[in-house]
């Protein structure tokens, strides 16, 4: 998978639609929470998956606060298909969806 295949898969998650409505961020989307960390965001399997080149302490802190306020969790995974060797993956999902 490369940049060409980095597209939304399936329906936009309901939890994401609700948060965007609540925060009035539909035009720009969830990326406004942590601009660099949520670069190249898409959704798949009920999660937001973002490819990021960098992320600062402040952005991670904002993302933690955002997730706590909205009953979400996130994982940061080294290496991402979007641009291998240059990006890492940030996955956001509702807390109750994790087994």
17-60 pLDDT, tens digit per residue, is 888 888 776 555 677 778 788 888 888 899 999 999 999 999 99
- Statement: residue 1 has pLDDT above 90: no
Residue 31 has what pLDDT? 73
User: For residue 11, what pLDDT band results from cuts at 50, 70 and 90?
Assistant: confident
d(C-alpha 61, C-alpha 34), whole Å? 9
Residue 2 has what pLDDT? 60
d(C-alpha 8, C-alpha 64), whole Å? 24
Task: Report which of 8, 21, 16 is spatially closest to residue 72, judged by C-alpha positions.
Answer: 16
């Amino acid at each position: 998978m490369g940049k060409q295949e980095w597209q939304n898969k399936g329906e936009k998650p309901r939890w994401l639609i609700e948060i965007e409505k609540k925060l009035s961020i539909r035009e720009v989307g969830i990326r406004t929470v942590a601009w660099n960390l949520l670069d190249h965001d898409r959704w798949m399997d009920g999660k937001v998956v973002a490819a990021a080149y960098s992320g600062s302490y402040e952005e991670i802190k904002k993302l933690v606060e955002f997730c706590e306020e909205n009953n979400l969790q996130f994982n940061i995974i080294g290496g991402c298909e979007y641009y291998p060797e240059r990006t890492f993956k940030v996955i956001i999902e509702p807390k109750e969806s994790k087994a």
